[in-house]
């Protein structure tokens, strides 16, 4: 409690107590008119003033004093209640601040712990990463060494296979060349024999074709002569013509190549009149007769 407030409270309480004592002391000694000496608040060293009052005034004064006393008591209680509330608020604020400080400290501790844990985890992670990197390096080196060994074995196997293949190919090549030379010699001998036989067949065929060509050509000319109307004015004259025939002997084209004009025109009419000529079923004979050029002379008696 504040010193000034405490001093004021003591003075006020002392004055009220003095009034109450005086009231009870003089209550039975005054009837209609009584003299009551009431000390007035102020300088205690000053002379006291007395006031004469009657009973009703005294009662009113008593009632007012009681009311004042109650009001003062209420005021004091309110002040005490306010003070208590302030003290409670102060304690609550102190508790709140203390709790806040504790929470802050706990948060700082938790944060510090989290940072330390994070650092610890980072160190552990770095350690694990380092171990993993070292393991990977060893595994890579081991794998690399295995690859080198594998490549060496594969290279040795390839070289061995290449040598074996080269030797085999050389032997096969020598054998193939030998077989080729033998085959070529045999083929050459056979070819010579076949060529000789072919030449003999061609010669025989050529003679046969020539004979057949001459025979059919004679038949063609004879048929032209059969369809050719001639007279003495044509004696000693001739006409050179080209005749193209189908495989069945049908005339596909006929052309005058030279000679007496009247004779040639007469010969063209005889060829057109004949229409079809005899033709050999032999393709080789037909090839010799399909495009023939001959000289026609009228047969006169």
User: Mean per-residue pLDDT for 175-203?
Assistant: 76
Minimum mean pLDDT among 21-25, 49-53, 146-150: which range?
49-53
Rounded (10°) angle between helices 55-226 and 261-274: 110
Over residues 39-87, the pLDDT tens digits come to 444 444 445 455 555 678 778 888 888 898 889 889 998 998 888 998 8
Cα-flanking dihedrals φ and ψ of residue 169, to 5°? Answer: -65, -40
Over residues 98-144, the pLDDT tens digits come to 898 888 888 888 888 888 888 888 888 888 988 888 888 988 888 88
Q: Residue 69 class from Cβ within 10 Å (0-12 exposed, 13-18 middle, 19+ buried)?
A: middle
Beta-carbon contacts of 62 under 8 Å, excluding residues fewer than 6 positions away, are 23
The β-bridge partners of 240 are 258, 295
User: Mean per-residue pLDDT for 6-21?
Assistant: 66
Whether 226 and 271 have beta carbons less than 8 Å apart is answered as: no
Cα-flanking dihedrals φ and ψ of residue 131, to 5°? Answer: -65, -40
Question: Cα–Cα distance between 42 and 90 in angstroms, integer?
Answer: 37
User: Mean per-residue pLDDT for 174-198?
Assistant: 81
User: Residue 190 — very low, low, confident or very high, per pLDDT cuts 50/70/90?
Assistant: confident
Minimum mean pLDDT among 4-13, 71-80, 130-139, 194-203: which range?
194-203
**Is the whole model's pTM more than 0.85, yes or no?**
no
Whether 240 and 292 have beta carbons less than 8 Å apart is answered as: no
* Count of CB atoms situated within 10 Å of the CB of 243: 22
Average pLDDT, the chain: 82
Beta-carbon contacts of 222 under 8 Å, excluding residues fewer than 6 positions away, are none
pLDDT of residue 36: 46
Cα-flanking dihedrals φ and ψ of residue 48, to 5°? Answer: -80, 145
**Which CATH fold would you assign to the domain 227-296?**
3.30.1150
DSSP the chain: --HHHHHHHHHHHHHHHHHHHHHHHHTTT-SSEEEE--PPSS-TTSPP--EEEEHHHHHHHHHHHHHHHHHHHHHHHHHHHHHHHHHHHHHHHHHHHHHHHHHHHHHHHHHHHHHHHHHHHHHHHHHHHHHHHHHHHHHHHHHHHHHHHHHHHHHHHHHHHHHHHHHHHHHHHHHHHHHHHHHHHHHHHHHHHHHHHHHHHHHHHHHHHHHHHHHHHHHHHHHHHHT----GGGTT--EEEEEEE-TTSBEEEEEEEEE-HHHHHHHHHHHHHH-B----S-HHHHHHHSEEEEEE-----
pLDDT of residue 223: 94
pLDDT of residue 228: 93
User: Residue 26 — very low, low, confident or very high, per pLDDT cuts 50/70/90?
Assistant: low
Over residues 226-278, the pLDDT tens digits come to 999 988 889 999 999 999 999 999 999 999 999 999 999 999 999 999 988 99
Whether 269 and 251 have beta carbons less than 8 Å apart is answered as: no
Whether 250 and 272 have beta carbons less than 8 Å apart is answered as: no
User: Mean per-residue pLDDT for 205-211?
Assistant: 67
User: Mean per-residue pLDDT for 164-176?
Assistant: 90
């Amino acid at each position: 409690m504040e010193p000034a407030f405490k001093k004021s409270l003591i003075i006020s309480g002392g004055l009220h107590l003095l009034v109450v004592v005086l009231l009870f002391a003089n209550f039975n000694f005054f009837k209609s008119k009584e003299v009551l000496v009431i000390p007035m608040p102020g300088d205690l060293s000053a002379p006291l003033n007395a006031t004469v009052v009657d009973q009703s005034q005294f009662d009113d004064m008593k009632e007012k004093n009681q009311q004042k006393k109650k009001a003062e008591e209420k005021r004091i209680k309110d002040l005490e209640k306010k003070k208590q509330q302030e003290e409670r608020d102060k304690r609550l604020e102190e508790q709140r601040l203390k709790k806040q400080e504790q929470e802050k400290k706990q948060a700082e501790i938790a944060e510090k712990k989290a940072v330390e844990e994070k650092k610890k985890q980072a160190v552990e992670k770095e350690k694990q990463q380092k171990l993993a990197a070292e393991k990977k390096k060893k595994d890579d080196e081991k794998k690399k060494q295995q690859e080198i060994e594998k490549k060496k074995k594969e290279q040795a196997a390839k070289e061995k296979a290449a040598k074996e293949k080269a030797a085999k190919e050389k032997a096969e090549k020598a054998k193939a060349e030998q077989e080729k030379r033998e085959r070529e010699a045999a083929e050459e001998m056979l070819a010579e024999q076949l060529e000789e036989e072919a030449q003999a067949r061609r010669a025989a065929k050529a003679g046969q074709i020539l004979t057949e060509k001459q025979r059919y050509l004679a038949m063609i000319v004879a048929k032209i002569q059969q369809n050719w109307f001639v007279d003495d004015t044509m004696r000693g004259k001739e006409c050179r013509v080209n005749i193209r025939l189908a495989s069945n002997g049908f005339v596909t084209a006929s052309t005058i190549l030279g000679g007496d004009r009247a004779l040639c025109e007469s010969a063209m009419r005889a060829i057109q009149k004949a229409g079809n000529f005899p033709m050999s079923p032999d393709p080789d004979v037909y090839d010799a007769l399909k495009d023939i050029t001959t000289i026609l002379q009228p047969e006169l008696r």
